[in-house]
Structure 1
């Protein structure tokens, strides 16, 4: 007979960044994902380690003193947000303390930082990727997000408060349209069906919304009829484009084998720091526009006076940071491995009349090997996994006096800062921006200076 798993009711004693709750069962630590300090939760022990237990939260028995009635209907079922039960100032203080513990335990003297609030803590997202599916086998078609801890269940996210009303209008109308037509969703286990994803993107600074429908090639999604329905919706903004893509890939990711523009333009135009950026459906762009503007403001300030300096922008993406810095620097060299991102960066630089920026398409490791003259300053904005371990010594060997590290993952950031410290660079200033309210994610800007000259 299988050994029955222990269920216990425990207090949440601490939550470490980003969502690692801790308690004690007897004298042994218990670790689980989620929770808020001060809650009392029911957990199931899933693994018994020598020094601690691993567990999962089954339910919240007693809320923490700083929790409130949740203003978001799908919260609890949806796997997106974590801190909907907190008032925003308390959420900021809570995340700031988690970051302070993370930095202190990593031996970094960064205790004087402040977590800057997002300009908007509701309806801040300019992009949503919804999935078609159902909440239970044989249930009605849903268009929404994955259920927490149950990846194959898709829940209706009506009442989500981090998206604006136009997103909800389009999502609900799409769900109703395809429910009426009886077109099946794509089954991720059997790889059968038609409807896969709906991506909605909007501009904060222009009246623009683009809808991107992704289906398999296994049936007719009635694109023309669906397009007519979209164009008759009453929106606060303006629907400027509709794109349909075929995706026959096995993975549950938003990707396109074949794309067709049904009407309008597929691109969104966004304005940051007075510069225009055209964003194609495949391009990465920060999902909180006003938060991104604040983040880049902190990055520019960290760079200091650039009037006679050459800046290298590594992991540049579509060149957003580099183009903002180009107005302050002598010249900026942008390095990015993805050809489509380099193409978009060049087009945006031309659109903005930027002439002191140069673009290199290639891997950071290779580009740094070919570098002849050291830049005055290097900006790095790597993906969540951080900087490749082989790239850190290459960056350090350039001899640049300063490095500005823009990070979307404080955990990999502290690891990379420790590696840079071994190469003679010390973190001297940090700014944190709460780019994604109600979630555990935080963006940081760190200035490092060379100390072994």
Structure 2
């Protein structure tokens, strides 16, 4: 086997995240995006000794369980990777991948409580961040997701079925409108262009919509006709917010230099259980509302009896802290995104939770100055896990219990090994699938 050689791999096993494993010429070959039972073509790379990696090219033979993918973009779009796998089997694969990580790291899962998820496989996303670009160099303007394994190419995903019909209508109107104006999209390497992103957010339980167009300031464009066109669309939900974000940052990311309100307000609201949450344009909120209720219900179940004080670290807009507020006399949350903290405190006041407060700052820094004696600390970090400095302070607080809500089981097991070495024990573990058709999964540990 040589580097760049096209090889045929029969997938026999799998590991996180969604990496198929087979054997070719006596070598163990890993192919990301391949599933057990499939025979795939892959381009060999990182060929070393008894192992290699392969870049997925195509499926040569479908797995016996395969179904037809319902989305016209599947296979080209870099978003979904498993529409051909029935949802129950998707969850079985995710469950097995998390279990293997615990086993490989010699970690106990404690009492394993299984895998659960919301029943909807499609149209579950309440947020989508589209990118302006093209599929081929100097091609037609597109708006959508990056092509699979091609970070500089954008596929026009006008028929994406992870979102509601309202999203599809807004997408179709937006790309048609800006194609007619013949405005250039922003090219990161050249640092020139106008159109960057389109963000749409939805309050699933409240029926509210937000549209946020992100551009540079390299052109002066009157967006009034665009706003009026959006308001004229026949939408099921109520369009309450139309925003224009100016972003001249050189990085290929959404950055806010200035936020302009074109219509309505600069937030939407959403409901989880009996609580109301104000969601600002860039604050974190779980992208699957109904799935989030499943996840947070699992967290509530693990708390048990009432606590005197709970710390909610990496709290976002304060969802978990407020949902478990009835289980504590005092809740303190910490979040690095300042606008999310402002919204979190406002949400707490709206929900009449006077004993819940949120602080702005990086957890690894703020935790040094936190005062209190928490009986329970809830950790809900980003994919990178808990910062080592913050993890040492978590142990120093001496909380009897920790609940770790992880969106990346690889960093979860790393952090758990540290906590176990400091005397903690994993009592219970539950897996929650918030993101059907993707490799992502949530894991909750007590």
TM-score interval for Structure 1 and Structure 2 normalised by the shorter chain: over 0.9
Secondary structure of 2:177's counterpart equals helix
Within 1, Cα distance between the matches of 2:372 and 2:314? Answer: 19
Change in 2 beyond 3 A, CA 1:249/1:362:
closer
Moved over 6 A (4+): none
Give the match for residue 376 of structure 2: 377
C-alpha displacement of 1:340? 2.0
Within 2, Cα distance between the matches of 1:265 and 1:361? Answer: 23
Change in 2 beyond 3 A, CA 1:144/1:337:
closer
Give the match for residue 303 of structure 1: 303
Within 1, Cα distance between the matches of 2:148 and 2:102? Answer: 29
Within 1, Cα distance between the matches of 2:57 and 2:365? Answer: 48
C-alpha displacement of 1:291? 0.6
Alpha-carbon contact 2:427-2:445 (below 8 Å) kept: yes
User: Is it true that 1:93 corresponds to 2:83 in the alignment?
Assistant: no
Which stretch of the first structure deviates more once superposed, 422-431 or 27-36? Answer: 27-36
User: Is it true that 1:404 corresponds to 2:403 in the alignment?
Assistant: yes
User: Is it true that 1:53 corresponds to 2:49 in the alignment?
Assistant: no
Q: CA RMSD in A?
A: 1.6
* Structural mapping, 1:5-404, within 5 Å: 5-110=4-109, 112-306=112-306, 308-371=307-370, 373-404=372-403
Secondary structure of 1:369's counterpart equals coil
C-alpha displacement of 1:28? 1.5
Within 1, Cα distance between the matches of 2:367 and 2:437? Answer: 38
In the TM superposition, what whole-angstrom CA distance separates every residue of 1:98-149 from its partner, at most 9, and x where no partner exists?
2222222222232733110223211000000001111111221111110011
C-alpha displacement of 1:17? 1.1
C-alpha displacement of 1:185? 1.5
C-alpha displacement of 1:437? 0.6
Within 2, Cα distance between the matches of 1:305 and 1:323? Answer: 16
Gaps of 5+ in 1: 448-453
C-alpha displacement of 1:19? 2.0
Change in 2 beyond 3 A, CA 1:367/1:196:
closer
Number of equivalent positions:
444
Gaps of 5+ in 2: none
Which stretch of the first structure deviates more once superposed, 127-136 or 318-327? Answer: 318-327
C-alpha displacement of 1:282? 1.9
Change in 2 beyond 3 A, CA 1:158/1:425:
same
C-alpha displacement of 1:367? 4.0
Change in 2 beyond 3 A, CA 1:239/1:363:
closer
Secondary structure of 1:290's counterpart equals helix
Within 2, Cα distance between the matches of 1:381 and 1:429? Answer: 16
In the TM superposition, what whole-angstrom CA distance separates every residue of 1:373-401 from its partner, at most 9, and x where no partner exists?
43111111111100111222221122211
Alpha-carbon contact 2:81-2:439 (below 8 Å) kept: yes
Give the match for residue 438 of structure 2: 439
C-alpha displacement of 1:359? 2.8
Alpha-carbon contact 1:152-1:188 (below 8 Å) kept: no
Change in 2 beyond 3 A, CA 1:4/1:409:
closer
Which stretch of the first structure deviates more once superposed, 119-128 or 220-229? Answer: 220-229
Alpha-carbon contact 2:3-2:44 (below 8 Å) kept: no
Normalising by structure 1, we get a TM-score of 0.94
Within 2, Cα distance between the matches of 1:55 and 1:410? Answer: 23
Within 1, Cα distance between the matches of 2:251 and 2:209? Answer: 27
Alpha-carbon contact 1:205-1:270 (below 8 Å) kept: yes
Alpha-carbon contact 2:303-2:327 (below 8 Å) kept: no
Alpha-carbon contact 2:313-2:377 (below 8 Å) kept: yes
Within 1, Cα distance between the matches of 2:372 and 2:153? Answer: 54
Normalising by structure 2, we get a TM-score of 0.96
Within 2, Cα distance between the matches of 1:98 and 1:195? Answer: 39
In the TM superposition, what whole-angstrom CA distance separates every residue of 1:234-263 from its partner, at most 9, and x where no partner exists?
111111110011111111111221111011
Alpha-carbon contact 1:118-1:436 (below 8 Å) kept: no
C-alpha displacement of 1:24? 1.4
In the TM superposition, what whole-angstrom CA distance separates every residue of 1:323-357 from its partner, at most 9, and x where no partner exists?
11112211112222332222111111111111112
Within 2, Cα distance between the matches of 1:370 and 1:137? Answer: 52
